[in-house]
Structure formats: structure tokens, C-alpha cells
Chains A and B, each alone.
Chain A
């Protein structure tokens, strides 16, 4: 079990590979190259969102408002696309990030500044964001034909067989990996989540990190909001409804500890991929939509149980021979 805990990402990757092979045996169309790339493309938004959620969970928090932020920001930029002149795609991207960041900052200030529990704050803002979409959109939806040409075209641009959404997700993942593993602030995020009291003695103030991580999660949600609306060509109040739970599930499957301080970028990406494969495979296997939800739920539960068992009480390495063995295993 200790090997499993130390090599969680490898195990998860193997499980996903086995799963793809098994599905391929049943529905060969699923493992054709374009189809597999399609899974990556389709899961790209989940990759990004799960990384944003991971940063929050690392600080012992949770952001239930990410999907609602995505939908609200998506609606706001869609309205800009509808009523404004044709802007370059980069302008929409920057605008969406800023709007989402602003909403996330609101969460962060309520949580870090006023000390209200994250679950309460983000449950509240979830409702507010969803309600706001109806208010500002006047209850209508914005359709593809109304959005503007560059607005809509960007997510469909392709490079090496993958869409721009995937490449943006990859860029977010690389930046996140650098941020978490190589910067002082990234190290601080692990520390305040791993032991807030010890971190405080080291001069790391939890509250400041809370403001930061909810802003990051918000910025990513906002970026995904534009990409989502532009990709699917519609903005309305129920976009990504319930998706917050899929995002959190990706993190948990990927080995992010709800207790804080534990989680990696590759793990989270694999967690999201695990869900992406299931969600994409089931329809090709002609499973009924009702069964699809139950099966993906069961698969998530199974992954979480395996993770929890690997995480339970690692033994201390006190015996000299145990230390040597661990040193060998670590390479």
C-alpha cells in the first residue's frame, strides 16, 4: 500500500489505460486516434477547472461557485459579443479572466477577510451568480448567431488535431505546475493547508492565501466561461449546472486531500481524465443516459475508496532497514 501511496499518479494512469483498452475491446471506434483526441478536447475545460479547485482545496477550502461563476461570466462576455463590436479573441479571453477573477476575489474576501467558512460563502455566491444570469440576461439565452464571428471562431481553431481550448488548458497546467512547485507563494499554499498553525509561526498568513486561491479559481472559471459559451454557441442560466461536483470529484480522484496540503497537478489532470474517459465512453457503448450517471458515480466512488485506503495512516519509518528500503524505492 505504501508503494501505491507514493506512486498514486502512475497507478491512476495505469487504471485509465486499462479502462481505455477494455472500452476499446467492446467499442473499437472509441480507441481510434481522432476519437481519443476528442476525449482530450472534450475534457480540456474540466482540466483547467479542476486545477483551480485543487488550489482551493490545498488550503482546506472548497469552491462550490466555480460552475456558476463560469456560467455568469460566460453570459456577460456573450452579451459583450452580442452588443459590442467584433473584438479580437484575446480581448474576450482577458475580459473573461478579469470578470471571473473579480467574482473569485469576492469569495476570497468573504472567506479570508471576514472569516466565514468557505462552504457557506461559495454556496451563497453559487445562488447569487445563477440568479444574476437570469437578471442580466432578462431570462433569455444568447445564441450562436448573435455572438459575433471572432467570438465564436476561437475555440474551434485547431493545432495538431487539438482545439485551442486544449492548448489553453495545457498552458494553464504548465503555469500551475511552475507556480506550485517553484515559487514561494506556491510552497506557502501547501504549508497553510498542511498545518495552518505552523505556517502562521513561519509568517505565512492563511487569510491572504485564501483571498489569492479563490481569486485564482475565479479567474480560471471566468476563462472557462468564455471558452464554454463560445464552444457550444449558447449562453443561458443553466450552463454547467451541477458541474461543480464533477470538478471536485476530479480533484478527489486525482489524490487531492480534502484535509488540505496534499495534491499535485499531474494527479488532478489524471483525475479529470478519468472522468472524461467515462463520460465520453459510455454513450459510444450505447449505455442509456440514466445508467451513465449511475455508472460514472460508481466509478468515482471506487476511485475515491482506493485513494482513501492508500492514504490511511502511513507508518513511520523508524527502523533503519525501513529507512534504507524507502530510500531505495525513492530512487
Chain B
């Protein structure tokens, strides 16, 4: 049978990163193809090329025998490719029918409301959805929103449907219903590209699989002929060849103790100890609850149970200020959104979390602020015209240095780094890794939240793995393997290897 869609020798690069390197992939009518790979393997880049958000540097996209070039998402829709995303991107304030027909309303200049309602009814009936076309989208659950997206795909008569981790926020029951819908779409003869981290789902719905690693295709085949350990090996199977700084740090006494920390919906029974000079890796899939648990330690949310002990004293931070005072810093993942205050100058940004140190009576001492700024700015090699320059004029890399300087200025004993190398090129990554090494050499204790396995394995002294809000495995440096860590993170097995 001729494939409905084929990608041939696709490559796509970004400054510093080759996201896809000579990847070929075919999708067939009436078949579900699972696309698997670690975070950063290139799965999302493929989705973005297929939906017209990126154009490939090299290679061809062929749909039903014709070569296509998608300059815009609309071109991809027109070619019959529809995508259902992890977090649905739709219009919450509009109704179901308006969402389905947004961008291709029937009628001429005036919208034909009756036609929209009738066609929406018909589409919803085809997928057994039990809500009315007029329902506002904000009243629907995530699972129901997925059904709206599927209806939207059907309204285009899409031959190819991409599902990018569609089960991420669904309940077990809803997942079951989604899978029957996938079966139905396959029986109608559509080609489906199913992206998931979860092996049980891949074995439940897919007919074929394709595995990516570091932007290359490393294997493909029929799902019936493969086993889970084989897939895990393919996903991670590479020597960890990045060079990580060799550290010679003596691990000291316990600084931070967390015991049974839980909240209602995000994480449960988080317990660990952190010692001076130690890097504790916190690994898991995106959405496993790692950041949420650590934000609770930092006082950004309140636990329902559990306790925190910092340097021997109980700590119950009601707001980040309490945690900062106790000696904990949190460098957040999104530096523009959560890190810098763009209109303020470098000095004001760097001293923002430690202003109390520069207060002399009622007033701030600008000379004391400048001393601190100069010391940290020079140490981190911030490149700027002057220390008063607004941070919005700095490049992304320099903004990042300003954020790190701000947190070091609080003189923390524990520093939580949330995805510190996300979205930066290999050269900057090496610099960040070296810097983390310096931090622990200075006697800090580091919690490293990272979704990049080589990074965690290269830097951490111990690794905790979280899955669906719980710590499911603990590994000591001499007792871990990439396969075991990934297996735990994907929920394949729960392991506890004396750590």
C-alpha cells in the first residue's frame, strides 16, 4: 500500500543544535505509527515540520504522491494534516462550533450559523461526543477538548492526524475512550502519528514504531515484533560522551531534609536529604511534578502534609521570602517569564532578592549594591554597557547570567536549578555545567531538576526519579544505568536501589 505521507531525508538545524539529521518516515492509511524518543530527540521538530511551523533545511515532504512545502500552518491543514497537541491550543471563550470552524467558516462574507451548527452536530455524532455545538469551550474537560480537536481534524477531512502526547492530562477512563476513538479513526482509513512516552500506550494503540535519538532515526518496525526493553535500549542507547567536569568535592553534613511532602493534586510523599557539596539529580518526564514539589520547598505553594528541615531548624515557608531568608534559592526554568524584570537595570535585578543586605536605615546604599553587582557580574562575565543598563537590552545568555547572579547574591546554602540548560546551545551548556561544579566546590548543595538524562547522569551524585507526582526510584552513582532510570521515569517499573 502506498504511504499517504512520507518524509524523506529531512534535516533541520538551529544555532548550535542539529534537531533533525537525515530522518525519513512514512505513514500509511489505516495504521497508527508511534514516534518515540527521549526529550530533545527531535519528536516535536517533526511535528512542527508536519504542521507548517518549521520548514526543513533539507529533504522533502510528500503527501499522497505530491511533494509539498508548508510555508504556514494553513498549508498543512489544506494538505490534510491535522495535529492534536499536548496542551490544546484553542479559544476558551468561544463555543465548540466556532472552535471547530475557526479559519474555515462556511458561508461567504457572512457566517452561515445554521450550516455550522448542523455540520458540528454531525461531526460530534461521528465521534460519539455528548456535548452541544453551542457549549463554550471553557466548560469542557481536557478529554472533551481533545474530542473537539479531533472533530476539527475531521472537519478538514484530514487524512493524517498527529497526536502529540494526547493522554498527558487525561484520567484512566478518558484514556480508554480516546484509544477507542483512535481505533475508529484507523478503521476509517486515516493515518495516525502517535507520540507518547508511555510504553503501555504505545503497545495498546500502535501498529508500527519509529524511534529517534539525538535527531536521528535509530530504528523502526512493527509493534507486534518488539519488546519494551528493546525500545528502552534504542531510546537511550548511547555512550554518555559529553565531558562533565570531574569534581573532587567532599560531601558534608545534611543541609536540607524533606519528609513526606505532599499536596492535594500535584505530588505526594516527597522525602529526601541533601548534603553540603552534593548535587541531587531530580529526573522525570515533563509534567512529573518535579518543579511543583521543589516550588513547594521554596514557599511558592503550601503543602498539605510533610515537613522541611533546613540546617537543623524546621522550615515552613509561607512565601519565597521565608525560604530565601533560610538560605534556599530557586533558579526558575523560564528566565524571561520568571527570572528578570526587563525594564529594570542590571544592578536592580541582581540585588532584587537580597535588598535587605544593602539597606542602611531607611535607604538603600547604591555603593553597596554596586559592589555586589560588580563582584557577581564580573565573576559570571556579564557583558553589558554599564551596570545600570536595562536588562531588556541584553542578549538571552546575558539575561540568564543576571538571573543566576541574582540568586547567588542571596548567599544561599541550597540552590535549586530548574532545567538550567533548557534551550541553550552545547557551548553554553558546558559553561553552565562547569559553573554547577564550582557551586558545590564552594560548599553549596544543589538540587538539579533536568529532563536530560546525560546531564543528570554526568553531574549528579544521586538521582531521584519522579513519575506522576511520586518518587518512584532512587539511584546512587555506582548503581545506576540509563535503562533503569528511563524505565522508572516512564512508569515501566518501580525500583529502589539503595541510595
Residues of A within 8 A of B (CB): 178, 182-184, 187-188, 190-191, 194-195, 197-205, 257, 261-262, 314-318, 320, 323-324, 326-327, 330
Contacts and interface: CB of A to CB of B under 8 A. Distances in A.
Contacts of A198: 337-341, 352
A323 B129 CA distance: 59
A213 B385 CA distance: 33
B363 to A, nearest CB: 4
Contacts of B330: 201
Contacts, number: 104
Given A184-B356, A317-B385, A317-B394, A197 B348 contact: no
Contacts of A187: 348, 352, 355, 364
B23 to A, nearest CB: 32
B386 interface: yes
Given A191-B341, A194-B341, A198-B338, A203 B324 contact: yes
Contacts of B322: 203
Contact of B364 (A183, A205, A257, A318): A183
B341 A199 contact: yes
A195 B395 contact: no
B344 A316 contact: no
B95 interface: no
Interface string B327-343: 00010100001111111
A55 B70 CA distance: 49
A200 B352 contact: no
A261 B363 CA distance: 20
A228 B459 CA distance: 67
Interface residues of B, number: 40
Given A198-B341, A262-B343, A182 B363 contact: yes
Contacts of A203: 319-325, 353
B292 to A, nearest CB: 14
Given A261-B344, A262-B343, A314-B392, A183 B385 contact: no
Contacts of B249: none
A268 to B, nearest CB: 16
A287 to B, nearest CB: 38
Contacts of B395: 316, 318
Contacts of B364: 182-184, 187
A261 B342 CA distance: 9
Contact of B344 (A183, A194, A318, A326): A194
Given A194-B342, A197-B338, A327 B385 contact: yes
B348 A190 contact: yes
A197 to B, nearest CB: 5
B8 interface: no
Contacts of A315: 393
B353 A323 contact: no
Nearest to A200: B320
Contact of B389 (A202, A257, A326): A326
Nearest to A327: B385
Contacts of A262: 343
Contacts of B460: none
A203 B353 CA distance: 7
A206 B262 CA distance: 26
Given A187-B348, A190-B344, A316 B337 contact: no
30 contacts: A183-B364, A184-B355, A187-B348, A187-B355, A188-B355, A190-B341, A190-B343, A191-B344, A191-B348, A194-B343, A195-B337, A195-B340, A195-B341, A198-B337, A198-B341, A201-B298, A201-B300, A202-B353, A202-B406, A203-B323, A204-B352, A261-B341, A314-B393, A316-B392, A317-B393, A323-B383, A323-B384, A326-B386, A326-B389, A330-B388
A261 to B, nearest CB: 5
Contacts of B353: 201-203
A258 B324 CA distance: 31
Interface string B20-54: 00000000000000000000000000000000000
Nearest to B353: A202
Contact of A202 (B320, B337, B384): B320
Interface string B403-434: 00010000000000000000000000000000
B193 to A, nearest CB: 35
B319 A205 contact: yes
Nearest to A186: B364
Nearest to A315: B393
Interface string B352-368: 11011001001110000
Nearest to B325: A203
Given A326-B386, A327-B386, 20 more contacts: A183-B363, A184-B359, A187-B348, A190-B344, A190-B348, A194-B344, A201-B298, A201-B300, A201-B339, A203-B324, A204-B321, A262-B343, A316-B394, A317-B384, A323-B383, A326-B393, A327-B385, A330-B385, A330-B386, A330-B389
Contact of B362 (A183, A205, A257): A183
A313 to B, nearest CB: 10
A194 B477 CA distance: 43
Contact of B332 (A201, A314, A323): A201
A316 B319 contact: no
Contacts of A261: 341-344
B325 to A, nearest CB: 8
Interface in B202-254: none
A100 B338 CA distance: 35
A202 B339 CA distance: 9
Contacts of B343: 190, 194, 257, 261-262
Contacts of B338: 197-198, 201
A191 B348 CA distance: 9
Contacts of A317: 384-385, 389, 393-394
A198 B343 CA distance: 12
A259 to B, nearest CB: 9
Contacts of A194: 341-344
Interface centre among B323, B352, B386, B395 (most CB of A within 10 A): B352
Nearest to A178: B363
Contacts of B323: 203
Contacts of B348: 187, 190-191
Nearest to A205: B319
Contacts of B298: 201
